[in-house]
Every structure is written in structure tokens, then in C-alpha cells.
């Protein structure tokens, strides 16, 4: 029973590009219905970790399982369980419309026909693009492109969402909508959400658990209150203070 509840499990994960270590001994666990935020300075290894979970990068050492399935042994099965939202906006076909893009990606997940049409309509509405689906992707603003990436991530209704800086290019109201969507996905639909962000206020508002990653190592992990007591900070301390504390060491 516990196994089915664990959505993401990383055990002693290492990654090096050549002789340069990028991730060192990452142990991570995320349950269904929970939101885990990865925070850390630029180049700390957040995106590499997310790409390993999305099976786009192979770890040098260690084990990763998604909903109980090892990603090395069952890559296709685990990909079906993941909704990956990359941080960069250039991951669509620019001459196609938003709807045409989503219909194409839906086919890769075996969603077609009437179900596809309905699903595309629903996800566009959930990210606030219902009026813009017929426009070409190249006409979208940076925020709309980001929103379409999120729509694609939830298109096949996966149990695990990997969101790499999902609100980076969004206006405050669009970011608020996406945050509400993330909370809904976790709390109501019981999805496991792993999010990386530089927006510490957003992390504080969203995450059940926070993992601070610095130079490829997780320097602290747990609920915000646990991080505060770990750092010896007062309950009133904010995440900026904790971030400073956990990423200042060499």
C-alpha cells in the first residue's frame, strides 16, 4: 500500500558530466497528493534532476522509480506516468496552433478522437488559453507559451507532474492561476507535484516539502518548519533566510 502511494523515489542518485559531478547522492521521496519544491542557486542541479526523473538524462549511479516502476527498466511505462513541463518555451511547433500542437502530443499518449478534443479543450481552459487555442504558437507571448507547456504536461492526466520553473514568464494573475491549478492537482486530484522555482514566496505558499539543492547535494529537506528548526531560526523566519543559510556553505 505504501509503495503505490510513493510517486517518486530517488535513491543515492549521482550524475556527472565527464569528470564534473552535477548531482551527488540525492535521496528523495515524494508521495501522491504532495508538492515538493526544489530550490537552489543557478547551476545547482535542479534541472538535471528533473530531466533524470523525466528519463531524458541517464544517471551515472543510483535508482529512480516512478509510482513503483524503475525508470531504467520500464522507461515507456514511467514516461506515461509523468507530465514534464520544461523551463524553456521553445518546445513546440511554432507554425502550428496551440490546439494543433496539443492534438499532436495527445496522440503520443494514445489520446485521440472525441476524447482528445475534449481533453485539449479542458487543459487549455485550465491554463487560461481557451480563447487562444486557434492562434499559432509563434504568435503567443512568453507567458502564453509557458502556459501551453503546462497544458501539455497535464494533457494525459499523469499521476506525477515535474514542473521546471512553471511560473517563470507568467504575469502575476497568470502565475496565480497556475499556482491554483498546481494546488488543485495535488490536493484534489492526488497528483504528486515536483516543482523547481527561484520564487521563494511561491515555494513557501505552495510546497508541503522543500528540498534545498546546492552544488549537486541536497543540503536540507523537509517541511518549512522542519527546515527552520534545522537552521536554528525562529518560526517567523522566511525562506530567503533559510535559503541563504543552506546554500552558503562550500
Site for other proteins, rule CB under 8 A: 15, 17, 22, 48, 51, 54-58, 60, 76-77, 79-80, 82, 84, 86, 88, 90-96, 100, 103-105, 107-110, 112, 136, 152
For other proteins, which is the closer residue by CB, 90 or 114?
Answer: 90
DSSP state of 26: E
Count of alpha carbons within 13 Å of 169, Cβ hemisphere only? 17
Rounded CA separation 44/223 (Å): 20
Residues in the chain: 250
Shortest Cβ distance from residue 103 to other proteins (Å)? 7
Rounded CA separation 94/31 (Å): 36
For other proteins, which is the closer residue by CB, 78 or 221?
Answer: 78
Residue with cell 521553445: 90
Shortest Cβ distance from residue 168 to other proteins (Å)? 15
Q: Are 161 and 192 in contact (CB under 8 A)?
A: yes
Residue with cell 547522492: 25
Shortest Cβ distance from residue 236 to other proteins (Å)? 40
Shortest Cβ distance from residue 76 to other proteins (Å)? 4
For other proteins, which is the closer residue by CB, 54 or 186?
Answer: 54
For other proteins, which is the closer residue by CB, 79 or 177?
Answer: 79
What angle, 0 to 180 degrees and rounded to 10, lies between the N-to-C axes of helices 142-154 and 172-187? 10
Rounded CA separation 73/10 (Å): 14
For other proteins, which is the closer residue by CB, 55 or 221?
Answer: 55
Shortest Cβ distance from residue 84 to other proteins (Å)? 5
For other proteins, which is the closer residue by CB, 95 or 176?
Answer: 95
Shortest Cβ distance from residue 65 to other proteins (Å)? 16
Grid cell locating 218:
541536497
Enumerate the β-bridge partners of residue 9. 29, 65
DSSP state of 191: -
Amino acid at each position: 500500500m505504501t509503495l503505490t502511494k510513493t510517486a517518486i523515489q530517488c535513491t543515492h542518485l549521482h550524475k556527472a558530466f565527464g569528470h564534473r559531478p552535477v548531482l551527488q547522492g540525492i535521496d528523495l521521496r515524494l508521495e501522491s497528493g504532495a508538492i515538493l519544491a526544489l530550490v537552489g542557486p543557478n547551476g545547482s542541479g535542479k534541472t538535471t534532476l528533473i530531466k533524470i526523473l523525466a528519463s531524458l538524462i541517464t544517471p551515472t549511479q543510483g535508482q529512480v522509480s516512478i509510482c513503483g516502476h524503475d525508470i531504467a527498466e520500464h522507461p515507456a511505462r514511467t514516461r506515461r506516468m509523468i507530465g514534464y513541463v520544461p523551463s524553456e518555451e521553445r518546445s513546440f511547433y511554432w507554425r502550428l496552433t496551440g490546439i494543433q500542437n496539443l492534438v499532436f502530443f495527445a496522440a503520443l499518449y494514445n489520446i485521440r478522437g472525441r476524447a482528445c478534443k475534449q481533453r485539449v479543450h479542458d487543459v487549455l481552459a485550465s491554463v487560461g488559453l481557451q480563447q487562444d487555442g486557434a492562434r499559432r504558437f509563434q504568435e503567443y507571448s512568453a507567458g502564453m507559451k509557458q502556459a501551453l507547456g503546462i497544458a501539455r504536461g497535464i494533457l494525459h492526466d499523469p499521476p506525477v507532474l515535474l514542473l521546471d520553473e512553471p511560473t517563470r514568464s507568467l504575469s502575476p494573475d497568470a502565475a496565480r492561476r497556475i499556482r491554483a491549478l498546481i494546488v488543485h492537482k495535488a490536493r484534489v486530484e492526488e497528483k504528486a507535484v515536483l516543482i523547481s522555482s527561484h520564487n521563494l514566496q511561491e515555494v513557501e505558499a505552495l510546497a508541503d516539502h522543500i528540498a534545498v539543492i546546492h552544488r549537486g547535494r541536497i543540503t536540507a529537506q523537509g517541511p518549512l518548519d522542519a527546515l527552520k528548526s534545522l537552521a536554528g531560526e525562529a518560526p517567523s523566519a522566511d525562506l530567503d533566510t533559510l535559503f541563504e543559510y543552506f546554500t552558503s556553505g562550500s
